[in-house]
Structure 1
Amino acid sequence: MQPIVVSALALIRDRRLLMVTARERDVLYLPGGKLEPGESPVAALIRESREEVAVRLDPATVVELFTVRTQAHGEPDGQEVHMTLFAAEPADDSPEPRASSEVGELHWVTSADAVRCPPAGVATLQGLRDRGLID
């Protein structure tokens, strides 16, 4: 079974990570999504950040942090997600993050919010905490 390959944004402010919930749901996930055919991971990150939270990223600030490989949430057993997490800064002319039609709400979270995350989110919060980036 081929893994689901995803790029995700780690936007951190005041030691809190931006995460989102889908409409009518309580599960936290990172802004990001699947790569389209022929799309690079960074291009997917930039596109998905704009689509999901209206943030225009400065491509010069994009830094790959790490990749989480785990069971994909809501998928059959054995279906893995390979989520590469990137840090990046909004472009000077970017609006503040806001929910899009794909997103219900924005949440600034710490590692204490891992109980509301699927496996990839739990691993991401732990990885960021281990690196001293979030509380």
Structure 2
Amino acid sequence: MADLIDKIAWIHLEERRLLVARNTGRERFYLPGGKREPGESDVDTLVRELDEELAVTVEPSTALHVGTFEAPADARADGLLVRLTCYTAVHTGRLVPSREIEEIAWVTAGDGDRVSAVDRLVLAHLHEADLLD
């Protein structure tokens, strides 16, 4: 089995566009979220990561699993895979790039060249579900 980066990600849609974030020093955008810390549930990770990255508060009881997606890690030839377990959730607060996040953007299904390989699978899934332009 290939090595795996296991991440939790937030699906946040507005006006049929998907929120993505770009880390400082990176070219590609990614779904907000990150890796679990020891003992964290998926929802605990989602709440912590979105507070750290976007300065918003997620209501844990509203988290809904959207899907789990796997694809090769970008720019890696060693078989490393990225698994994204994706959730929607209601948040409060204004979305503000924070900590390692340099920029946020709103993308459509046609913006696959701006995001990671695994995020392209999410774009396609949301577009097929008629949730994303």
Q: TM-score, normalised by structure 2?
A: 0.92
Unaligned runs of 5+ in 1: none
The answer (yes or no) to whether the contact 2:3–2:79 under 8 Å persists in 1 is no
Q: CA–CA distance in 1 between the matches of 2:100 and 2:93?
A: 17
CA-CA distance at 1:23 after TM superposition: 2.0
Partner SS state of residue 104, structure 1: strand
The answer (yes or no) to whether the contact 1:32–1:48 under 8 Å persists in 2 is yes
Matching residue within 90, 100, 103 for 2:101: 103
Q: CA–CA distance in 2 between the matches of 1:74 and 1:57?
A: 32
In the alignment, what sits opposite 1:14? 15
Superposition RMSD on alpha carbons, in Å?
1.4
Number of residue pairs aligned between Structure 1 and Structure 2: 132
Q: CA–CA distance in 1 between the matches of 2:131 and 2:56?
A: 20
In the alignment, what sits opposite 1:134? 132
Unaligned runs of 5+ in 2: none
Task: Summarize the alignment of residues 1-135 of structure 1 with structure 2, pairs less than 5 Å apart.
Answer: 1-90=2-91, 94-135=92-133
> Which moved further from structure 2: 74-83 or 1-10?
74-83
CA-CA distance at 1:95 after TM superposition: 1.6
Read off the aligned partner of 2:24 and give its amino acid letter.
Answer: R
Percent of aligned pairs with the same residue? Answer: 36
State the Cα deviation string for residues 2-28 of structure 1 (Å, max 9, x = none).
Answer: 421110001111111110112243311
Read off the aligned partner of 1:85 and give its amino acid letter.
Answer: C
Partner SS state of residue 126, structure 2: helix
Structure that is richer in strand per residue: 2
